[in-house]
Amino acid sequence: MAVSMFSLSLRRVLILALVVCFKHRGGSHQLFGEKFVFSDKTAYHFLSKTNSRPEKYDPVYINMVVRHGSRYPSKYRVVRMGTIFKRLNAFFPVNKTDNTTFRYKGLSLPWSIPADVKNSASKELSRLGAQEMYWIAKRIRAKFPELFKHGYSNTKYSFIATDKLRSSQSAVAFAQGIFEQQGPVGLAKYQPIAVRFSGPADQDRVLRIYEACPKWKKVHAKLSDSEYAKFIRGPQVRNVTENICSRLNLKNKAKLTPKIVVEMFLMCAFGTQTDSNDVSLCSLFEDEDLKVLEYLNDLKIYWSYSYGRKINYRMACPLYMKITEGFQQYIRNGKPYGVFQFAHTGTVLPLLTLLGLYKDNLALRADNFDKQTNRTFRPSNIVPMSANVAFVLYERTSKNTNHSQNGGMRPKRKVSRMVIQVLVNEVAVDLPACQGKTYCRLKKFLDYYSYIRKTCNINRICGRLRGNCRKPSRKGKR
Closest listed residue to residue 63, CA positions, set 194, 141, 157: 157
Query: What is the average pLDDT score of the chain?
Result: 86
User: What per-residue string of b and e applies to 46-63 under the rule 16 or more CB within 10 Å gives b?
Assistant: beeeebebbeebbbbbbb
Asked whether the predicted pLDDT for residue 371 surpasses 60, the reply is yes
End-to-end Cα spacing for the chain: 42
User: Do 4 and 103 touch, CB atoms closer than 8 A?
Assistant: yes
The mean per-residue pLDDT over the stretch 144-160 comes to 96
Q: What is the pLDDT of residues 9-61, one digit of tens each?
A: 444 444 444 444 444 333 323 445 556 689 999 999 987 777 788 999 999 99
Residue 28 pLDDT = 28
**Phi, psi for residue 438 in degrees, rounded to 5:** -85, -5
Q: Chain-centre distance of CA 225, in angstroms? A: 27
What is the percent of the chain where pLDDT is above 70? 83
Q: What is the pLDDT of residues 260-270, one digit of tens each?
A: 999 999 999 99
Residue 478 pLDDT = 35
Closest listed residue to residue 387, CA positions, set 398, 378, 395, 400: 378
The mean per-residue pLDDT over the stretch 441-463 comes to 97
Closest listed residue to residue 255, CA positions, set 269, 266, 244: 244
Asked whether the predicted pLDDT for residue 118 surpasses 50, the reply is yes
In the chain, what are the domains? 39-398+413-462 (3.40.50.1240)
